[in-house]
Amino acid sequence: MRHTLPVAPQFYVTAPQPCPYLPGRMERKLFTALQGETAESLNNSLSKQGFRRSQNVLYRPSCAECAACMSARIRVEDFRPSRSQRRTWNRRTIIARRVTSPWATEEQYDLFRHYLAERHADGGMADMDVFEFAAMIEETPVRTRVIEYCDADSGELVAVCLTDILDDGVSMVYSFYAPDRPRDSLGTYIILDHIQIARETGLPFVYLGYWVPGSDKMGYKARFSGLEVHRRGAWERMRDPADYKAETHPLSTDPIAEQVANISLPGSRPAKG
Protein backbone atom coordinates (compact mmCIF):
# COMPACT_ATOMS: atom_id res chain seq x y z
CA MET A 1 0.00 0.00 0.00
CA ARG A 2 1.35 3.40 -0.97
CA HIS A 3 1.09 6.27 1.44
CA THR A 4 1.45 9.89 0.43
CA LEU A 5 2.31 12.73 2.77
CA PRO A 6 0.86 16.20 2.35
CA VAL A 7 3.35 18.51 0.66
CA ALA A 8 3.66 21.94 2.25
CA PRO A 9 3.50 24.79 -0.27
CA GLN A 10 6.76 26.42 -1.21
CA PHE A 11 7.05 30.19 -0.83
CA TYR A 12 9.11 32.50 -3.01
CA VAL A 13 9.91 36.22 -3.20
CA THR A 14 9.78 38.35 -6.34
CA ALA A 15 12.59 40.66 -7.37
CA PRO A 16 12.04 44.32 -6.38
CA GLN A 17 10.17 46.46 -8.92
CA PRO A 18 8.61 49.95 -8.86
CA CYS A 19 5.61 50.21 -6.53
CA PRO A 20 2.32 50.87 -8.38
CA TYR A 21 0.80 52.68 -5.38
CA LEU A 22 3.45 54.91 -3.83
CA PRO A 23 5.91 56.76 -6.08
CA GLY A 24 9.60 56.36 -5.44
CA ARG A 25 9.26 53.03 -3.65
CA MET A 26 10.00 49.45 -4.63
CA GLU A 27 7.65 46.54 -4.09
CA ARG A 28 8.35 42.89 -3.48
CA LYS A 29 5.87 40.02 -3.07
CA LEU A 30 5.87 36.76 -1.14
CA PHE A 31 4.00 34.15 -3.18
CA THR A 32 3.13 30.49 -3.55
CA ALA A 33 1.51 28.34 -6.22
CA LEU A 34 -2.19 27.50 -5.91
CA GLN A 35 -2.84 24.09 -7.38
CA GLY A 36 -4.02 20.55 -6.76
CA GLU A 37 -6.52 19.19 -4.27
CA THR A 38 -5.46 21.61 -1.53
CA ALA A 39 -6.04 24.77 -3.62
CA GLU A 40 -9.43 25.54 -2.08
CA SER A 41 -8.35 25.16 1.54
CA LEU A 42 -5.08 27.03 0.91
CA ASN A 43 -6.94 29.94 -0.69
CA ASN A 44 -9.32 30.08 2.28
CA SER A 45 -6.53 29.93 4.85
CA LEU A 46 -4.13 32.41 3.27
CA SER A 47 -6.85 34.91 2.33
CA LYS A 48 -7.49 35.25 6.06
CA GLN A 49 -3.80 36.10 6.47
CA GLY A 50 -3.65 38.96 4.01
CA PHE A 51 -2.91 37.04 0.80
CA ARG A 52 -4.61 37.69 -2.53
CA ARG A 53 -5.14 35.44 -5.55
CA SER A 54 -3.95 36.14 -9.09
CA GLN A 55 -4.72 33.21 -11.41
CA ASN A 56 -2.97 30.21 -9.82
CA VAL A 57 -0.80 32.22 -7.43
CA LEU A 58 -1.39 33.55 -3.92
CA TYR A 59 0.69 36.58 -2.96
CA ARG A 60 1.21 39.11 -0.18
CA PRO A 61 3.38 42.27 -0.12
CA SER A 62 6.78 41.70 1.45
CA CYS A 63 8.62 44.94 0.82
CA ALA A 64 12.03 45.35 2.43
CA GLU A 65 11.48 48.82 3.90
CA CYS A 66 7.71 49.41 3.73
CA ALA A 67 4.63 47.90 5.35
CA ALA A 68 2.03 50.30 3.96
CA CYS A 69 -0.12 47.76 2.07
CA MET A 70 -2.82 46.19 4.22
CA SER A 71 -5.42 43.67 3.12
CA ALA A 72 -8.91 45.09 3.70
CA ARG A 73 -12.29 43.46 4.21
CA ILE A 74 -15.77 44.63 5.15
CA ARG A 75 -17.46 42.95 8.11
CA VAL A 76 -20.94 42.69 6.61
CA GLU A 77 -22.91 42.86 9.86
CA ASP A 78 -21.18 46.14 10.77
CA PHE A 79 -21.63 47.86 7.43
CA ARG A 80 -23.87 50.92 7.38
CA PRO A 81 -24.12 52.77 4.06
CA SER A 82 -23.36 56.47 3.91
CA ARG A 83 -25.85 58.87 2.36
CA SER A 84 -24.06 58.84 -1.01
CA GLN A 85 -23.80 55.04 -0.91
CA ARG A 86 -27.55 54.80 -0.30
CA ARG A 87 -28.14 57.00 -3.34
CA THR A 88 -25.93 54.72 -5.42
CA TRP A 89 -27.69 51.59 -4.17
CA ASN A 90 -31.11 53.08 -4.89
CA ARG A 91 -30.18 53.10 -8.58
CA ARG A 92 -29.98 49.29 -8.63
CA THR A 93 -33.28 49.06 -10.53
CA ILE A 94 -31.45 50.17 -13.69
CA ILE A 95 -28.64 47.59 -13.34
CA ALA A 96 -29.13 43.84 -13.62
CA ARG A 97 -26.75 41.32 -12.03
CA ARG A 98 -25.75 38.20 -13.97
CA VAL A 99 -23.55 35.48 -12.45
CA THR A 100 -21.57 33.19 -14.75
CA SER A 101 -18.73 30.69 -14.68
CA PRO A 102 -15.20 32.09 -15.11
CA TRP A 103 -15.25 32.34 -18.88
CA ALA A 104 -13.89 35.35 -20.79
CA THR A 105 -15.89 37.00 -23.57
CA GLU A 106 -15.15 39.60 -26.22
CA GLU A 107 -17.70 41.92 -24.60
CA GLN A 108 -15.85 41.73 -21.30
CA TYR A 109 -12.51 42.39 -22.99
CA ASP A 110 -13.85 45.42 -24.88
CA LEU A 111 -15.13 46.89 -21.60
CA PHE A 112 -11.84 46.05 -19.89
CA ARG A 113 -9.83 47.89 -22.58
CA HIS A 114 -12.13 50.91 -22.37
CA TYR A 115 -11.78 50.98 -18.57
CA LEU A 116 -7.97 50.78 -18.71
CA ALA A 117 -7.70 53.47 -21.40
CA GLU A 118 -9.68 55.92 -19.27
CA ARG A 119 -8.56 55.03 -15.74
CA HIS A 120 -5.23 53.17 -15.82
CA ALA A 121 -3.54 53.92 -19.14
CA ASP A 122 -0.10 53.84 -17.51
CA GLY A 123 -0.77 50.86 -15.24
CA GLY A 124 0.73 47.40 -15.28
CA MET A 125 -2.23 45.93 -17.18
CA ALA A 126 -2.25 48.50 -19.97
CA ASP A 127 -0.57 46.13 -22.45
CA MET A 128 -2.65 43.06 -21.57
CA ASP A 129 -3.88 41.33 -24.74
CA VAL A 130 -7.00 39.21 -25.16
CA PHE A 131 -5.16 35.97 -24.36
CA GLU A 132 -3.71 37.36 -21.13
CA PHE A 133 -7.15 38.69 -20.23
CA ALA A 134 -8.67 35.25 -20.80
CA ALA A 135 -6.00 33.72 -18.56
CA MET A 136 -6.78 36.23 -15.79
CA ILE A 137 -10.46 35.24 -15.90
CA GLU A 138 -10.27 31.53 -16.60
CA GLU A 139 -7.13 30.26 -14.84
CA THR A 140 -8.53 29.55 -11.41
CA PRO A 141 -8.22 26.35 -9.36
CA VAL A 142 -10.81 27.51 -6.78
CA ARG A 143 -14.50 28.46 -6.63
CA THR A 144 -14.70 31.54 -8.82
CA ARG A 145 -17.54 33.39 -10.50
CA VAL A 146 -17.72 36.21 -13.01
CA ILE A 147 -20.37 38.67 -11.88
CA GLU A 148 -21.57 40.84 -14.74
CA TYR A 149 -23.68 43.97 -14.43
CA CYS A 150 -25.81 45.07 -17.37
CA ASP A 151 -27.99 48.05 -18.15
CA ALA A 152 -31.49 46.80 -17.35
CA ASP A 153 -32.98 48.49 -20.43
CA SER A 154 -30.40 48.02 -23.16
CA GLY A 155 -28.66 44.89 -21.86
CA GLU A 156 -25.28 46.58 -22.37
CA LEU A 157 -22.49 45.23 -20.17
CA VAL A 158 -21.42 48.04 -17.83
CA ALA A 159 -19.35 46.32 -15.12
CA VAL A 160 -17.61 43.02 -14.33
CA CYS A 161 -16.12 41.54 -11.17
CA LEU A 162 -14.03 38.38 -10.94
CA THR A 163 -15.03 36.98 -7.55
CA ASP A 164 -13.76 34.07 -5.44
CA ILE A 165 -16.11 32.32 -3.04
CA LEU A 166 -14.28 31.72 0.25
CA ASP A 167 -15.52 29.81 3.28
CA ASP A 168 -15.98 33.09 5.17
CA GLY A 169 -16.75 35.60 2.43
CA VAL A 170 -16.52 36.77 -1.14
CA SER A 171 -13.20 38.04 -2.45
CA MET A 172 -13.23 40.69 -5.18
CA VAL A 173 -10.22 39.57 -7.21
CA TYR A 174 -10.54 42.22 -9.93
CA SER A 175 -13.28 44.53 -11.18
CA PHE A 176 -13.71 46.97 -14.05
CA TYR A 177 -16.56 49.06 -15.37
CA ALA A 178 -17.71 51.60 -17.94
CA PRO A 179 -15.90 54.85 -17.06
CA ASP A 180 -18.40 57.03 -18.92
CA ARG A 181 -21.27 56.49 -16.47
CA PRO A 182 -20.12 58.57 -13.47
CA ARG A 183 -23.66 59.13 -12.22
CA ASP A 184 -24.02 55.41 -11.54
CA SER A 185 -20.85 55.25 -9.35
CA LEU A 186 -20.28 51.75 -10.69
CA GLY A 187 -17.12 51.07 -8.65
CA THR A 188 -19.04 51.76 -5.45
CA TYR A 189 -22.09 49.88 -6.73
CA ILE A 190 -20.09 46.69 -7.35
CA ILE A 191 -18.87 46.68 -3.73
CA LEU A 192 -22.36 47.40 -2.39
CA ASP A 193 -23.74 44.52 -4.43
CA HIS A 194 -21.05 42.17 -3.13
CA ILE A 195 -22.08 43.12 0.39
CA GLN A 196 -25.61 42.13 -0.63
CA ILE A 197 -24.35 38.86 -2.14
CA ALA A 198 -22.52 38.05 1.11
CA ARG A 199 -25.72 38.75 3.06
CA GLU A 200 -27.76 36.53 0.73
CA THR A 201 -25.34 33.64 1.20
CA GLY A 202 -24.70 34.11 4.94
CA LEU A 203 -21.02 34.97 4.52
CA PRO A 204 -19.54 37.45 7.03
CA PHE A 205 -16.91 39.26 4.92
CA VAL A 206 -16.27 41.00 1.63
CA TYR A 207 -12.56 41.02 0.81
CA LEU A 208 -11.55 44.15 -1.11
CA GLY A 209 -7.84 43.67 -1.77
CA TYR A 210 -5.22 46.05 -0.44
CA TRP A 211 -5.71 49.43 1.14
CA VAL A 212 -2.66 51.69 1.04
CA PRO A 213 -2.52 54.88 3.13
CA GLY A 214 -1.22 57.72 1.01
CA SER A 215 -2.40 56.16 -2.26
CA ASP A 216 -5.23 57.98 -4.03
CA LYS A 217 -5.95 54.81 -6.05
CA MET A 218 -6.91 52.94 -2.87
CA GLY A 219 -8.56 55.75 -0.90
CA TYR A 220 -12.12 54.76 -1.83
CA LYS A 221 -11.95 51.59 0.30
CA ALA A 222 -11.70 53.62 3.51
CA ARG A 223 -15.12 55.13 2.75
CA PHE A 224 -16.90 51.87 3.60
CA SER A 225 -17.95 51.35 7.21
CA GLY A 226 -17.32 48.05 8.95
CA LEU A 227 -13.84 47.94 7.40
CA GLU A 228 -11.07 45.80 8.86
CA VAL A 229 -7.40 45.78 7.85
CA HIS A 230 -4.83 43.02 8.28
CA ARG A 231 -1.93 44.57 10.16
CA ARG A 232 0.97 43.01 12.03
CA GLY A 233 -0.44 39.52 11.62
CA ALA A 234 -4.03 40.15 12.73
CA TRP A 235 -7.25 41.81 11.61
CA GLU A 236 -8.19 45.04 13.33
CA ARG A 237 -11.11 47.41 12.96
CA MET A 238 -10.21 50.37 10.76
CA ARG A 239 -9.56 53.49 12.79
CA ASP A 240 -9.40 56.98 11.35
CA PRO A 241 -7.53 56.51 8.03
CA ALA A 242 -5.34 59.48 8.97
CA ASP A 243 -3.94 57.39 11.85
CA TYR A 244 -2.26 55.03 9.39
CA LYS A 245 1.05 56.08 7.92
CA ALA A 246 2.94 54.98 4.84
CA GLU A 247 6.34 55.56 6.40
CA THR A 248 9.32 53.41 5.52
CA HIS A 249 11.82 51.89 7.88
CA PRO A 250 14.42 49.11 7.47
CA LEU A 251 12.79 47.15 10.31
CA SER A 252 9.19 47.46 9.09
CA THR A 253 9.12 43.95 7.61
CA ASP A 254 10.14 40.69 9.29
CA PRO A 255 12.76 38.52 7.56
CA ILE A 256 11.30 36.23 4.90
CA ALA A 257 12.02 33.05 6.87
CA GLU A 258 10.14 34.47 9.86
CA GLN A 259 7.21 35.53 7.70
CA VAL A 260 6.89 32.03 6.23
CA ALA A 261 7.26 30.37 9.64
CA ASN A 262 4.31 32.42 10.94
CA ILE A 263 1.94 31.46 8.11
CA SER A 264 -0.84 29.11 9.21
CA LEU A 265 -1.46 26.34 6.68
CA PRO A 266 -4.63 24.24 6.39
CA GLY A 267 -4.70 21.68 9.17
CA SER A 268 -2.25 23.59 11.34
CA ARG A 269 -2.97 26.10 14.11
CA PRO A 270 -5.72 28.58 13.22
CA ALA A 271 -4.77 31.84 11.55
CA LYS A 272 -5.18 35.01 13.54
CA GLY A 273 -8.26 37.15 12.84
pLDDT, mean over the chain: 90
Q: What percent of the chain lies above the pLDDT cut of 70?
A: 92
Res. 251 pLDDT band, cuts 50 70 90: low
Q: Is the pLDDT score of 1 beyond 50? A: no
Q: Is the pLDDT score of 25 beyond 70? A: yes
Q: Is the pLDDT score of 32 beyond 60? A: yes
Give the pLDDT of residue 5: 40
Interval 12-21: pLDDT, tens: 999 999 988 8
Give the pLDDT of residue 262: 86
CATH architecture under which domain 74-228 falls: 3-Layer(aba) Sandwich (3.40)
DSSP letters of the chain?
A: ----PPPPPPEEEPPPEE-SSSTT-EE-EEEEE--STTHHHHHHHHHTTT-EEETTEEEEE--TTB---EEEEEEGGG----HHHHHHHGGGGGEEEEEE-S---HHHHHHHHHHHHHH-TTSTTTT--HHHHHHHHH--SS-EEEEEEEETTT--EEEEEEEEE-SSEEEEEEEEE-TT-GGG-HHHHHHHHHHHHHHHHT--EEEEEEE-TT-GGGGGGGGSTTEEEEETTEEEE---GGG----B-TTSS--HHHHHHTPPPTTSSPPP-
**Could you state, in order of their start, the residue ranges of all structural domains in the chain?**
74-228
Q: Is the pLDDT score of 197 beyond 70? A: yes
